[in-house]
Amino acid sequence: MRKIEKDFYQIPKNLKDCAKNNESHLLESKEVNADCYKKAKDDLEKLYHKKCAYCESKYQTTSSTWIEHYRPKKARENKEKPEYNHSGYHWLAYEWSNLLPTCENCNRPKSNKFPLLDESQRVKEPTLLSDGKMDKSKNLLNETPLKNELAMIINPEIDEPIDFFFLK
């Protein structure tokens, strides 16, 4: 894994437009329109040179990019490890800073896992403005309240991956 410089404010236009049109439905129903986040695919592939954000392997020519939601859109309900259960982050489904291009081998096992160092900091719902729309500034992964969660999965756009590797 290597550091990737992504400008969280330079949202691809087609993603931004789709997110805007689908925001109220997303908030009301918690139903995610996959067509929306898939619009980020080309921009993510370009940024990552067609490599997986986690393991850096080139995608197989037979399998396309899997758009990963770093913060999972769906809840985790694991009876054996309930300490990491959460109610999901559906409102981040179209959030540019939450989308990573990954290979199938990384995407499948990661699934909806999202362990935190401090469970009491977990964000359970979006911050809304007085007009009922989302406060997008609170959806940025590198800003409060999300950064305070202290996620236990390294994010190549936020963390400095080299800090987490040690040579013996």
Binding of residue 52 to Zn ion (CB under 5 A):
yes
In the complex, the smallest distance separating the C-beta of residue 106 from Zn ion, rounded to whole angstroms, is 3
Stretch that binds Zn ion, among 5-13, 40-48, 103-111, 128-136 (CB under 5 A): 103-111
Binding of residue 54 to Zn ion (CB under 5 A):
yes
- State the Cα–Cα distance between residues 160 and 168, nearest whole angstrom: 19
Binding of residue 103 to Zn ion (CB under 5 A):
yes
What 3-state class would DSSP assign to 100?
strand
What 3-state class would DSSP assign to 86?
strand
* Residue nearer to Zn ion on the CB measure, 27 or 106: 106
* Residue nearer to Zn ion on the CB measure, 1 or 27: 1
Buried b (16+ CB within 10 A) or exposed e, 8-43: beebbeebbebbeebbeebbeeeebeeebbbbbbeb
In the complex, the smallest distance separating the C-beta of residue 130 from Zn ion, rounded to whole angstroms, is 42
By CB under 5 A, the count of residues binding Zn ion is 5
Strands (E), the chain: 66-69, 99-102
Among 106, 115, 154, 161, binds Zn ion (CB under 5 A): 106
In the complex, the smallest distance separating the C-beta of residue 67 from Zn ion, rounded to whole angstroms, is 13
Q: Which residues pair with 86 in a beta bridge?
A: 76
- State the Cα–Cα distance between residues 76 and 96, nearest whole angstrom: 22
Binding of residue 93 to Zn ion (CB under 5 A):
no
* Residue nearer to Zn ion on the CB measure, 36 or 103: 103
Binding stretches for Zn ion (CB under 5 A): 52, 54-55, 103, 106
